[in-house]
Chain A
């Protein structure tokens, strides 16, 4: 059986998310993304043990978290199971999941873990029957969301690619199944441009998908600045309630705090960071390192400066760090007499606010909206659907690319057709169709064939 993976916790904001991988390759896949701090080797971990470490994919650290290993048969499913808990929110969790998929795990179907548990004798009949109900309900939900998906713009785009692929396959099928008919030749010269076109469209859908993530997953936004410029006050003002510990003692925010803020249709995932400065305090040092990391990872940095004081060394350090990162300069404490020299900033967007008085906060929201060019998209928030569509597109793209290179190498069309079939099937999976049926219908609707 294939190794499957899914997020096992409800997709709620905040808190810890658990990704479960189950199957023969579970531990092997986990070992590829999870690098324990210390000397533990994932492959050698015993059942029912856990280890702390970081989650790495493609050379990039996605998050840190815990890995728990269960070995067959002593696990929920009765198979080898690896559970990775991470706390980076939904966005990070999905990225981790995507990494796991790309390493060879398949998405778990509705109720799949429980089904496997049952198959491996881990559940009683009564439990199993109860589970059947759950699976059925999940199936209904999956169906509902699939139906909703069909109305979406993304779905239409995918559908148009799958139509093109079926069209290509239809031409190939008619040409193959009716070799004696007077039909246009569907040789490599005819097929290649159509495949190239499908490839480009799939690539566009996939890159747009990441833009779409901004809507659904939000923009990660770090609030940065030297200690006590009012970052936490700004964050709290934006959120409208107290979240970070706010005192006038510099250096009170020692870890990274994340909150979600809705700005129009966009969600800002705000991360308040520890103040950037050189410190001897061990805890604060870690906080500063985390803040630097947060800045590095953020899609947007709100760089906060104290308007009531001249630009300091730490401020200059921050300006240095945010070069090349999308950012907005926020000059806080507009309620106090201003001493900062604004000519030192080369930025186009400089917002002056008073977090304490709640003054000018809307300016930030507008600037974010402007900056991400989102005003034009907001009409169609449903454009962006779920990970499954993306996975299907990824798979289709892989097969289309293989088909193109097979054609270029001069491989025979029967073989190339198998690859195009796979690509079409990957996309048609979203509507529950099969390429073979769709192709036969296409042949008869387009070609005049027969005796």
Chain B
């Protein structure tokens, strides 16, 4: 085959997954090309102009700790920042920013352009080329140009065979009125990839001048902003406010009266929609007892008058959209600039992937993002990063990066994808992690910087800085354990004023800190020997002391799991030939081909006796 250009890695798609994949591969020293149907859509946000949110904020910080770009891009382009769930405990604190959609795109495009080993090419990839062994050897574009590549990462988002539905009208399209990617599906099927149809949707964008803000509740950002990235420094400020309104009985009446004109209800959409992100017509039908539904009115950027209506995703006809929006308080005279629509697209069955996000059947072919059945920019970016790293690791002949559930939300996300599979677009949630208390936003650096450093995306300087921080945390914890506070009228008076009991004997500060009512900051008045420490240090010390019991409980669970996690199953194992495995288990194992015994144990239909049989088999092979 003759190639126009030779690369190590070809990334198909330049959305949030593709961008991270390409940056990771190029930064790891590989010649990389990123293909996109339109350069103007790089890192576009075709839906919500925001980054983060519950569990998604965790993902962004983890991406940062591994050496990805998303957190820095969000810090550079945000309009408003909030930490959600304050007061519900540190494990569920989540950053969320309102982002400037155009600035975010421009920032990311510039970052890609500045990466020396990365080529950016506008073009639709229509074929994955394989060599005699069935491994990836390149990609072909619609123009017939062929590019050599040892790995291809599919990050096609909602472009792949995209079909937009609005009312009775359907047409082939990518998101935000881009061209769809129509050729690639057939090529993937030919390679043995199972494709499915998923569906998602987005609400209308409306003109600022048509909104009556005086009738809306205002929601401002936090006064004290902490950045997404552990490396962002300097002052950050909020530039916009968001607003809240509610649907009402009239809105619901209009929607219900026009349901027959919805492609979802008339059966024209075959794709499976997400449970967590229902359209407004879904909400009104499924939760008919709710008298109102909330919507958020959010600015799309500083250089535009467009506002996004979070919560009002719909595929009803345009006239119905206008009618029901105008029934909402504050939107009585609303002007739609872009209508809401539903979009159907092709995605793979994630059970066909290894945890490295490589297809089991096609060496060198990787998938990331919505193509793998997830939803959300953050979920996509996390997978893109992992796929990019693993494509590079394989080409470099190095150990793959497999993050297990105990390390991160990224690991949890990927394990869910490749072990349980998904039946509707998958969104990350804190409730999906059984190790929540260990996997906090605030300690993402501690958890993942070592991985990023080993891989080569995190500098030695950053790694050493983390080690120093951890030492300082340990030292402060030791000091708090050793320093005792004696009972005195002042101490007892203060404790009582915090609504906790006085002390009767000299008590270590650490012990007092364990009381929910006592904070590190509060203890300052009695802690004269306290050293001057950065917030990131004393905050970790405080958290570790406060949650010691729970952290220990979770660490025990982690230890239990990691023993199984470390037992790797050989790739060539023939499950049908293993004596003692039940048929159901053998079939499931053969389909999923788990990488480790730990992963095998989470497959539904594989019971502990099957695991014992596998363990024996593993050990007996030495």
Contact = CB atoms under 8 A, between A and B. Distances in A.
Contacts of A450: 274, 276-278, 311
A125 B615 CA distance: 13
Given A177-B55, A450-B278, A136 B581 contact: yes
B91 A443 contact: no
Which of B89, B275, B563, B580 has the largest number of chain A CB atoms within 10 A? B580
Given A128-B620, A414-B437, A133 B89 contact: no
A1 B287 CA distance: 48
**Chain A facing B: main interface SS:** helix
Interface stretch (B9-17, B190-198, B228-236, B602-610): B602-610
A109 B609 contact: yes
Contact of B430 (A110, A176, A435): A176
B267 interface: no
A279 interface: no
Interface string B174-207: 0000000000000000000000000000010000
Contacts of A418: 436-437, 550, 553-554
Given A139-B607, A179-B54, A451-B203, A414 B246 contact: no
Interface string B595-622: 0000000001001111011011101100
A436 B91 CA distance: 16
A34 interface: no
B535 interface: no
Interface residues of A, number: 57
Nearest to A169: B431
B313 interface: yes
B168 to A, nearest CB: 24
B608 A182 contact: no
B54 A417 contact: no
B293 to A, nearest CB: 7
A176 B92 contact: yes
B70 interface: no
A139 B85 contact: no
Nearest to A435: B434
Contacts, number: 160
A411 interface: yes
Interface stretch (A57-65, A112-120, A359-367, A385-393): A112-120
A136 to B, nearest CB: 4
A451 B47 contact: yes
Contacts of B283: 448
B608 A414 contact: no
Interface string B52-94: 0011000000000000000000000000000011011111100
A180 B517 CA distance: 26
B468 interface: no
B616 A451 contact: no
Given A109-B608, A132-B613, A410 B581 contact: no
A140 interface: yes
Which of A143, A410, A411, A419 has the largest number of chain B CB atoms within 10 A? A411
Contacts of A1: 563
Contacts of B246: 182
A22 to B, nearest CB: 15
A138 interface: yes
A434 B420 CA distance: 12
Contacts of B617: 132
A142 interface: yes
B398 interface: no
A314 to B, nearest CB: 57
Contacts of A410: 516-517
Contacts of A180: 84, 294, 296
A125 B620 CA distance: 6
B327 interface: no
Nearest to B608: A109
B292 interface: yes
Interface in A104-138: 109-112, 115, 118-119, 125, 128-129, 131-133, 135-136, 138
A140 B582 contact: yes
Nearest to B557: A422
A102 interface: no
A249 interface: no
B507 interface: no
A412 B516 contact: yes
A178 interface: yes
Contact of B88 (A110, A135, A414, A436): A414
B553 A422 contact: yes
Contacts of B613: 132, 135-136
Contacts of B47: 451
Nearest to B294: A182
Contacts of A319: none
B88 A176 contact: yes
A187 to B, nearest CB: 9
Contacts of A449: 276
B91 A415 contact: yes
A444 B275 contact: yes
Nearest to B553: A418
B290 interface: yes
B516 A436 contact: no
B579 interface: yes
B48 interface: yes
A415 B437 contact: yes
A109 B283 CA distance: 45
Contacts of B547: 415
Interface in B115-144: none
Nearest to B278: A450
A236 B384 CA distance: 79
B507 to A, nearest CB: 17
Contacts of A176: 54, 85, 88, 92, 430-431
Nearest to B613: A132
Which of B287, B294, B429 has the largest number of chain A CB atoms within 10 A? B429
A255 interface: no
B525 interface: no
A413 B88 contact: yes
B244 to A, nearest CB: 8
Contacts of A414: 88-92, 436-437
Contacts of A444: 275-276
A448 B246 CA distance: 14
B419 to A, nearest CB: 11
Contacts of A436: 431-434
A432 interface: yes
B553 A173 contact: no
B88 A412 contact: yes
A118 B619 CA distance: 8
Nearest to B88: A413
B580 A136 contact: yes
A175 B92 CA distance: 11
A173 B436 CA distance: 12
A24 B484 CA distance: 37
Which of A138, A179, A181 has the largest number of chain B CB atoms within 10 A? A179
12 contacts: A118-B619, A128-B620, A135-B580, A173-B430, A179-B84, A180-B84, A417-B436, A436-B431, A443-B429, A444-B275, A449-B276, A450-B274
Given A181-B294, A451-B203, 14 more contacts: A109-B609, A119-B619, A131-B616, A132-B616, A133-B580, A136-B582, A142-B609, A173-B430, A176-B54, A182-B294, A410-B516, A413-B89, A418-B437, A444-B276
9 A-B pairs closest in CB distance: A139-B609, A414-B89, A412-B89, A132-B580, A173-B431, A414-B91, A136-B580, A450-B277, A448-B287
Interface of A: 1-2, 109-112, 115, 118-119, 125, 128-129, 131-133, 135-136, 138-140, 142-143, 169, 173, 175-182, 409-415, 417-419, 421-422, 432, 434-437, 439-440, 443-444, 448-451
Interface of B: 47-48, 54-55, 84-85, 87-92, 203, 246, 274-278, 283, 286-287, 290, 292-294, 296, 310-311, 313, 420, 429-434, 436-437, 515-517, 547, 550, 553-554, 560, 563, 578-582, 604, 607-610, 612-613, 615-617, 619-620
